Structure 1
């Protein structure tokens, strides 16, 4: 029965098929969905290697959220219509203070065996994957022409930024991701580089009547 329905769908004339996607959009969406699958698969690979319960909690919550967003993204891409579920907002459970400054740490080098894999490395890989997908979603969202799919992608960008920041805070708290600062005088110089524009600028007249500039 399912095969018969699929054959009927394939035999439909082009006008009856879902045509509300642009060609470039189709390639972008394949890249986006493949990227989501890659994150999910790699999070699953990481899970047995995680030692810290806090990091495991972050991994599980982000995995479940990304999976839910993957499902509705795949649904609306296939149908071209509003998905059966609304996009949701990712909320981190703990907001920690950022620790600034550098402290001595062991030099980094490639792993010699799986025994060298620690939470510092796993959390770093997680952060890289999430940041890459945030960029991919942003680039795709401004190329997609289907209004529903565009909204679904755009709504996820902020969530990926939130997930990336959550992993960063975890890394920063454990000194895996240190944040250097400039000297106080340099900070002040950089902060004072730009000032607000005073008043209303005088915009030039529009040349809509086609008269050449004098």
Structure 2
């Protein structure tokens, strides 16, 4: 079995390629935030974008640091704290049908918050897939620690969208809801002999 000569070389080839994809996706999302920022109209969305950008940039930097060195980064992964409450409004209200833009001037806060939400969902999936096959324990931990932050930022954007009726949450009728809620039961503690 071949031993790596130093900390920088304790990465597998698949890991390095996956990390390139993950870090490139992070750059893409950060770049999108910069491009979209000047088009934001709502001060609340601008605050979310700015806070998430600052947090995501720091997380990107410590991930790069750990990846390049194979060692602990200069500071641990933080924990993103959103400002919105956790109250969703359920139900559907009539709204205009969604359709593709025909002109860039149609860009609005609904679209911007949707692009940012989609970016966090993509990054969370990419970091999860990469962490599952990362051989360097430090890089794996940095990735794993950052996934809950992606989830929290996406959740904050979905709350923002729901608050402004950009994202409506439908519910099933009472009988269907009860049927589905009761369609699972706890498993037994003892394995079958």
Report the TM range for the smaller structure's normalisation: over 0.9
* CA RMSD across the alignment: 1.4
Partner of 1:202: 191
Q: 2:31 aligns with which of 37, 41, 50?
A: 41
Is contact 2:84–2:159 with CA below 8 Å preserved after alignment?
A: no
1:81 to 2:81 alignment: no
Q: Aligned pair 1:155/2:145, yes or no?
A: yes
Q: What number of residue pairs does the alignment pair up?
A: 190
Task: Give the alignment's TM-score, normalised by structure 2.
Answer: 0.94
Tell me the residue number matched to 1:135.
Answer: 125
2:10 corresponding residue in structure 1 = 20
1:90 aligned to which of 42, 65, 80: 80
Query: Which residue among 39, 54, 59 is the counterpart of 2:44?
Result: 54
Match status 1:172 vs 2:162: yes
- Give the unaligned 5+ runs of structure 1: 1-13, 205-214
* Alpha-carbon separation, structure 1, partners of 2:87 and 2:7: 52
Q: Give TM-score scaled by structure 1 length.
A: 0.85
| Aligned-partner Cα distance in 1 for 2:118–2:191 | 45
Structure 1 moving runs of 4+ over 3 Å: 14-17
Larger Rg: 1
- Residues of 2 paired with 1:20 and 1:173: CA distance? 46
Aligned to 1:109: 99
